[in-house]
Amino acid sequence: MKIVLIMQKLIITLLGVAFIGVSLLASVGQASAQPEWMPNPPKAIGGQCDLDPKEMRKTHMTLLDHKRDQTMRDGIRTKKYSLKKCIACHAVKDKSNKCVTVKDERHFCRSCHDYAAVRIDCFDCHASRPEDSLNKATKAAGNSHDKLAGLSSIGKTGDTTDTTLRRFIAGEVK
């Protein structure tokens, strides 16, 4: 009898511990899953951001402003912090496999701005998705009849972002 009692107590304790454990785990799980209303920027097509993403979140405005003046006034055309490159690497596709413009709320630059009520006018002038020629280039390169024609329609030397972007649009990278 005593043994049965002890066994009963043990089972109950174990169950209790298990219950607390499970509920603890569950609550931890909940804490790490982001609430729906938080901004959730879409993933980049690959490569590395120009700056540690943590820093980029905080400083992209100033970096872009600085780059803008350098390019506009002094003709400095390096890739780092170039708006064209942000747009290329942070391209987001819709279901029909086309890159979305800033009109679409899934656009990378809107993901946080909509949440934080930031409005930028950059895309009044700047293309908000990689140029159509890239889509064409994908086709040309994909057909592999004329890989060079595809590359040349981009006009610039194909750097890694362009190459990844082509593969991204072609559906080879997610």
**Which option in ligand HEC, another protein, none does residue 161 bind, with CB closer than 5 to 8 A by kind?**
ligand HEC
Residue bearing tokens 């170039």: 82
Please give the structure tokens belonging to residue 163. 């190459």
Is 10 or 61 the residue whose CB approaches ligand HEC more closely? 61
- Draw the binding track, 103-142, toward ligand HEC (x: CB under 6 A; -: no contact): -----xx-xxx--x-x-xxx-xxx----------------
Long-range own/partner contacts, residues 144-152 (CB < 8 A, 24 or more apart): none
Is 26 or 65 the residue whose CB approaches another protein more closely? 65
With CA atoms as reference, report the closest residue to 48 among 78, 71, 80, 76.
80
Residue 93's φ and ψ, nearest 5 degrees, are: -95, 150
| HEC letters along 66-83 | HHHHHHHHHCCCCCCCCH
**Which option in ligand HEC, another protein, none does residue 112 bind, with CB closer than 5 to 8 A by kind?**
ligand HEC
If residue 157 lies in a helix (H) or strand (E), which one and from where to where? Answer: none
**Which option in ligand HEC, another protein, none does residue 76 bind, with CB closer than 5 to 8 A by kind?**
another protein
Q: What is the DSSP string of 106-150?
A: TSHHHHHHHHHT----HHHHS-SS--HHHHHHHHHHHH-S-HHHH
> Helix, strand or coil for residue 94?
coil
Tell me the window of 20-28, 33-41, 51-59, 74-82 that interacts with another protein (CB under 8 A).
74-82
Task: Please identify which residue in 47, 59, 112, 131 interacts with another protein, judged by CB under 8 A.
Answer: 131
**Which option in ligand HEC, another protein, none does residue 86 bind, with CB closer than 5 to 8 A by kind?**
ligand HEC
Task: Please identify which residue in 9, 57, 103, 156 interacts with ligand HEC, judged by CB under 6 A.
Answer: 57
By CB under 8 A, tell whether 105 contacts another protein. no
Q: How far apart are CA 153 and CA 161, in angstroms?
A: 16
**Which option in ligand HEC, another protein, none does residue 44 bind, with CB closer than 5 to 8 A by kind?**
ligand HEC
The residues binding another protein (CB under 8 A) are 68-70, 72-79, 84, 87, 101, 121, 124-127, 130-132, 148, 151-152, 155-160, 162-163
